[in-house]
Amino acid sequence: MRLLGRAWSDADLERIIAAVLRAGVGAAAAVVLAGGIHYLARYGAAPVDYHVFRAEPAQLRSLAGIVAAAGSLRSRGIIQIGLLLLILTPIARVVFSAAAFAVQRDRFYVVVTLIVLAVLLYNLSGGYH
């Protein structure tokens, strides 16, 4: 395979995929940590009632609500963005793999990888109900 003017071996691709995974997990961890620190700084001293379960607010159950909350620098929204980054990391790996197989002109693996991507996206969209 040739990318950026030079041939890339399978080992090069594996290193790139590993770097994508490390970067995604690292970014997700950093964002969740930042949101967690912000949350504890703001609400850490508040009394906790473990007898009543409080689910995540409705606005943090949609992508638009999560982005709006994070854009307003609300700690729960920042944490949710970090979790979305964590979910998107393996999807980025599958997309990169599909592109690499396409450059290699390996149609069989492109099709298999795109099927895997379609299953991932279908399940993330809630289509399994």
Residue 51 domain-assigned (yes or no): no
Model pTM score: 0.80
Task: Give residue 6's pLDDT.
Answer: 57
Q: What whole-number distance in Å separates Cα of residue 123 and Cα of residue 129?
A: 9
**Angstrom distances, CA of residue 25 to CA of 17, 79, 88:** 12, 14, 10
Residue 39 domain-assigned (yes or no): yes
Mean pLDDT of the chain: 88
Task: Give residue 104's pLDDT.
Answer: 82
Task: Give residue 91's pLDDT.
Answer: 93
Kindly tell me if the per-residue pLDDT of 4 is higher than 60: no
| Largest distance between two CA atoms of the chain | 62
Averaged over 21-35, what is the pLDDT? 96
In which band, very low, low, confident or very high, does the pLDDT at 38 lie, cut at 50, 70 and 90?
very high
In which band, very low, low, confident or very high, does the pLDDT at 79 lie, cut at 50, 70 and 90?
very high
| Domain around 114 | 7-46+56-124
Averaged over 110-115, what is the pLDDT? 96
Residue 2 domain-assigned (yes or no): no
Residue 106 domain-assigned (yes or no): yes
Averaged over 66-77, what is the pLDDT? 92
Averaged over 95-105, what is the pLDDT? 88
Residue 64 domain-assigned (yes or no): yes
Q: Give the total number of structural domains in the chain.
A: 1
Q: What whole-number distance in Å separates Cα of residue 22 and Cα of residue 81?
A: 17
